[in-house]
């Protein structure tokens, strides 16, 4: 098995202070509980990812592992993974109405998105710069870099 020499991961997350249209309580958009829940989950997952990358480096499975996280004033409408600048996994978030249980055991009706269940499409850049895969990968790379460089701030 071939292991990578280094891992560099850049994540764009919505600004924690941004009023997102989801997740939210369906009948009370001003209820802050689901925004707080999202913030807690995001912080936990980001810390877990940072720990996993650090472990890979400590165990000398990779020589370098770096995680950079920035916040952007955009509502996420899709999931995007850019791999080595030549492959893209892309999936749109579908807004759904679903029951959600809060920490206190209360079940509320929420407007949320299918994140974990989002269908991802795979696109690959090839030798033809005008092929659909190459055009899509290039446009997603340019979009990500523009948001990273011009709209985002350190988390």
Interval 91-118: pLDDT, tens = 999 999 999 998 889 999 999 998 887 8
How far is Cα 94 from Cα 78, in angstroms, rounded to an integer? 9
Assess contact for 96 and 110: CB atoms under 8 A. Answer: no
pLDDT single digits (tens) 32-60: 999 999 999 999 999 999 999 999 999 99
How far is Cα 127 from Cα 43, in angstroms, rounded to an integer? 39
Residue 1: band (very low, low, confident or very high) from pLDDT cuts 50, 70, 90: low
Which residues are within 8 A (CB) of 117 and not within 5 positions of it... i.e. 6 or more apart? none
Q: In what order do the strands lie in the sheet with 64-72?
A: 6-14, 64-72, 153-154
What pLDDT, on a 0 to 100 scale, did the predictor assign at position 109?
96
Closest CA to 98 of 75, 115, 84, 123: 115
Closest CA to 38 of 134, 113, 146: 113
What pLDDT, on a 0 to 100 scale, did the predictor assign at position 23?
93
Assess contact for 84 and 70: CB atoms under 8 A. Answer: no
How far is Cα 81 from Cα 123, in angstroms, rounded to an integer? 10
């Amino acid at each position: 098995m071939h292991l990578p020499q280094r891992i560099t991961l850049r994540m764009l997350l919505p600004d924690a202070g941004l009023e997102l249209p989801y997740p939210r309580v369906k009948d009370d958009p001003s209820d802050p509980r689901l925004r707080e829940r999202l913030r807690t989950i995001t912080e936990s997952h980001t810390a877990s990812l940072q720990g996993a990358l650090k472990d890979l480096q400590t165990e000398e499975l990779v020589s370098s592992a770096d995680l950079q996280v920035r916040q952007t004033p955009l509502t996420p409408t899709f999931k995007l993974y850019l791999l080595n600048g030549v492959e893209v996994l892309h999936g749109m978030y579908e807004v759904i109405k679903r029951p959600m249980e809060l920490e206190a055991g209360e079940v509320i009706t929420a407007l949320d998105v299918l994140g974990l269940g989002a269908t991802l499409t795979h696109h690959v850049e090839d030798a033809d710069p005008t092929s659909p895969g190459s055009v899509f990968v290039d446009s997603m790379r340019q979009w990500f870099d523009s948001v990273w460089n011009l709209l985002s701030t350190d988390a």
